[in-house]
Structure 1
Amino acid sequence: MLDASGPWGTAPFILSEGYSSIENKIAIITRKPFACTWLTEAEDRTSVVRLEANPNYWNKKRGPRIERVVFRNDLSPEQALELCTSTEGHVDIVTDVEPADASGVVSSACAKLISVDANQVLAGTFNRFAKDSSFHDRRLREAFNLSVNRENVIAKGFLGYANTIAAMTPSWAKDFPEELKPRPYDPAKARQLFREAGGWPSGRVLEIAATEKYGSPARLIANDIKNVLRIDTKVKIIPESSKNKWLRVAAEKKLLPNWDILLVDTFALFSEATPAFIHREYFGADGAYRAGPKFETFDQLYAQMASETDPDQLILKAKQIDRYVYHESLALFLIAPKKLYAVNRHVNFQPYRSTFELAETEVNNQHWSRRT
């Protein structure tokens, strides 16, 4: 949070003008020991936030390689994308481009599309609080995992800009268990496990909740489950204005969620100790997305990883956690969406898997700032 104008900072850039801050409210998960999650309710940004190159940055080899960065907060995402793809001198980089807009960037004469395999995961959390379902049974969770055609979800729901995942750790992370493979689409085995687990309550509609961003993938997933397991499904789209209310219910665990599967994403800030960022949110005692009683085995494995100080042992224990959630099918394992950027054709932008960084970014002699 940068809530006052600079200049200040010790990173590659120094804040020299404007500010960017957020307003959060907490959702209490447990009181003893205290655990909570922060829900962003508002964002307060000046129309322009200006960063200047830090001449005293310690890593000269890394950068910075540009003199100034200006964030324009006076533009909508649509306006920013239009300026980047059809003009020069107004917007050089647009973050979080939607897959539906990617083709327009690719065909642009002014910009190029850059994608990166990000440390972000989209998965479904099972509502194990519901007394009339059997999500406590591993066979039922496995049946749902085998019912989803992930390649089809990627092709139609993300237009190809995503990767399949085996469990919750992306395959490019340092702590990914190499032997794990994404669940296959196997309707016959899914139906067999579904019957063995006792099936689904007669006449009961399976309700899948998802934010507007993931509405299309949610419908594809619901259709797969309906066709394979032969149960009625319904998709609940969560409006952006109501997103925090739904997440608060999931986090605080006071009210019974009015969904059976919640599609939600989260990300990791680093490529090791991935469970600290992703797995914990879905399965941990202090996980905001855990919808059911605590997983004692998970919490034990997580405590062992969290107390590890040896880097190599940390990775081994992180892998053990991903193996456990994989074999227990603790979530509806889905995909890792790619991060997409629209970038001016004369800008050499170096994307990161976890954060938005500009230290190595540079422009060539044909860039508008140098031509003029």
Structure 2
Amino acid sequence: MMRFTALFVTALLGTASVSQAQTGTLTVATAQDPQNWDPIDTFLIAWGTVAHNIYDGLIIRTPDLKLQPGLATKWTYLNGGKTLRFTLRKGVKFHNGEPFNANAVKFSFDRLLGAEGKKGPQQANYTSIKQVKVVDPYTVDFILAQSDPVLLTKLAGYGAMIVPPRYIKEKGAAYFDTHPVGTGPFQFVSYKNGESIRLQAFPGYWGGKPKVANLTFRFIEEPATRVAELQSGRVDIATAIPVAQAATVKGNSKLSLQAVPSPTVQALRFNVSHSLTKDVRVRRALNHAVDRDAIIKSILQGYASPIASLQSSKSYGYDPNLKPYPYDPAKAKALLAEAGVKPGTPIGIDFIGTDAVFREVAQAVAGFFQAAGLKPELKTYETNTFYSDIIPKNKTSNAYQMGWGGWTFDFDNTAYLLYHSKQFWNPDYSNKTLDAMLDKQHTMSDQKQRLVILRDIARFTHEQAIDIPLYNQQDLWGVSKRVQGFQAPSDSLLHLRTVSVK
């Protein structure tokens, strides 16, 4: 039996007086507008950056990646691990005045696990939950269909956020998409698609009133524009500073640059439904064709590390003995010839057009492919179209950009969603052997045995060359020195309640 109990963690939840003076507006520039604020409808890091200030989960993960009580004050495994019981925090209200209680938790998960949740990408993360039962107004039981070693972490993010039953029933799901209501430290004011979302401090927040009165997120896709707005003082914090402008930010006396190791990895995935990349020899050849170290040194200026699988070194499942394919142009050409690929054969590479850094990476990769004798064809897409339509509906070319934020820091949550047959992000690759390994570890409670299988999975995907793992990036944040108390998180999930501005 595992039992967790705790009081507020002052580093995260604080003990700020409700009467504490609030001043000013904190403005954050992010690269992407999720376009939907319903927790069950998106899988984008950009959503988490904003929405963790609007919503709470039963559990909170702190910036140092520790799990702490959120809307639940404690949790206990019962019945040999088949039931997960949560004791809920009392006296909490949603922004619309609706009470938070066990019925709200049940409603949130019934919705996530039902027909509404099936429309989006989040449901697959929570299939270990068979049903949620109300024990009393402040106690709920999660009846588990199977063990899930990452479930507690999942409950701290994205689809597991608790939503208001009465509000959604009255307003409808479509209205909720653009008018979110949660229990978080900031409440919704207005949203302009593609432009901004405005929030204000929620004075009744259970963890203490925020230090700023207003919080605005601006959606600025163009990196140079984000930096320009930061320099001008119209933005206080900017995400995803391009490495080409890192020195500019560092050299500005009014700004600071925070570089943090990230769970995010960048890769080129192969679409195996195309005849060229269906052949494993071609996929291995293309892995040998790319000089990752040169990309990291020349384009990323060292703000990244090479990887052999789609996970960072902090991920549970990481194997330090697994090495990337060595850069070997001669072997790449030999494997292509063995596969019968003629010189000048076209190969498509898809990527997000507004991603200035990856544009350079894609161009470099195209150069490596051309040196191997192929004819690369680059194609760009708008961000939301790429992730909501092109990838999941199997419309990609031979190779396509996959930026994956492994926010759980557990390879299961990456590998299962990217490699298991017919998952949302995997419309084309299917392998029964790999599916069996993924399924086996997905429900194991023995962590040591699970680690062995996760590493086997990493080796299998490496040998099958399902993708080209390129690098584990560092996230670069530009911060105005008028901002007090901000520390860039490793998982991009901003918690801004204790941040202030001078």
- TM-score range (shorter-chain normalised) is 0.7 to 0.9
Partner of 1:325 in structure 2? 461
Residue 180 (1) aligns with residue 322 (2): yes
Greater than 6 Å deviation, 4+ residue runs? 10-17
Residue 154 (1) aligns with residue 296 (2): yes
Q: Take 2:320 and 2:461, find their aligned partners in 1: how far apart are those partners?
A: 15
- The superposition leaves residues 113-149 of structure 1 with CA deviations (integer Å, 9 ceiling, x where unpaired) of 1111211121122122123x2x343332111101001
Contact 2:415 2:438 (8 Å CA) reproduced = no
Partner of 1:225 in structure 2? 369
Offset, 1:341: 0.6
Aligned-partner residue type, residue 248 of structure 1 = D
User: Pick from 394, 398, 416: which aligns with 1:260?
Assistant: 398
1:108-123 correspondence runs (5 A): 108-123=252-267
Partner of 1:100 in structure 2? 244
* C-alpha distance 82-279 of structure 1, shift in aligned 2 (>3 A): same
DSSP 3-state at the match of 1:124: strand
Residue 85 (1) aligns with residue 231 (2): yes
1:230-241 correspondence runs (5 A): 230-240=373-383
Q: Take 1:124 and 1:76, find their aligned partners in 2: how far apart are those partners?
A: 25
* TM, length-normalised to structure 1: 0.74
DSSP 3-state at the match of 2:462: helix
Offset, 1:344: 2.5
* C-alpha distance 281-107 of structure 1, shift in aligned 2 (>3 A): same
RMSD over equivalenced CA pairs, Å:
3.7
Offset, 1:307: 1.1
- The superposition leaves residues 289-348 of structure 1 with CA deviations (integer Å, 9 ceiling, x where unpaired) of 435351111111110111112333333332221122112222122112221111123634
Residue 356 (1) aligns with residue 493 (2): yes
* C-alpha distance 359-315 of structure 1, shift in aligned 2 (>3 A): farther
Q: Bigger relative contact order, structure 1 or 2, given CA contacts below 8 A and separation 6+?
A: 1
Partner of 1:206 in structure 2? 347
Contact 2:309 2:462 (8 Å CA) reproduced = yes
Partner of 2:131 in structure 1? none
Aligned-partner residue type, residue 101 of structure 1 = Q
Q: Take 2:219 and 2:119, find their aligned partners in 1: how far apart are those partners?
A: 37
* C-alpha distance 147-49 of structure 1, shift in aligned 2 (>3 A): same
Offset, 1:355: 3.0
Partner of 1:194 in structure 2? 336
Q: Take 2:346 and 2:225, find their aligned partners in 1: how far apart are those partners?
A: 41
DSSP 3-state at the match of 2:256: strand
DSSP 3-state at the match of 1:215: helix
1:1-372 correspondence runs (5 A): 1=37, 37=121, 44=191, 47-51=197-201, 56-57=206-207, 67-68=211-212, 70-73=214-217, 76=220, 81-87=227-233, 91-131=235-275, 133=276, 135-196=277-338, 198-201=339-342, 203-212=344-353, 213=355, 214-227=358-371, 229-240=372-383, 242-243=385-386, 248-253=389-394, 257=395, 259-272=397-410, 274-276=411-413, 278-290=414-426, 292-345=428-481, 347-358=484-495, 369=502
Aligned residue-pair number? 328
Contact 1:308 1:314 (8 Å CA) reproduced = yes
Q: Take 1:70 and 1:288, find their aligned partners in 2: how far apart are those partners?
A: 36
Offset, 1:152: 2.0
- The superposition leaves residues 220-277 of structure 1 with CA deviations (integer Å, 9 ceiling, x where unpaired) of 10101111x2122111122447435xx5243234xxx4611112212112112x232x
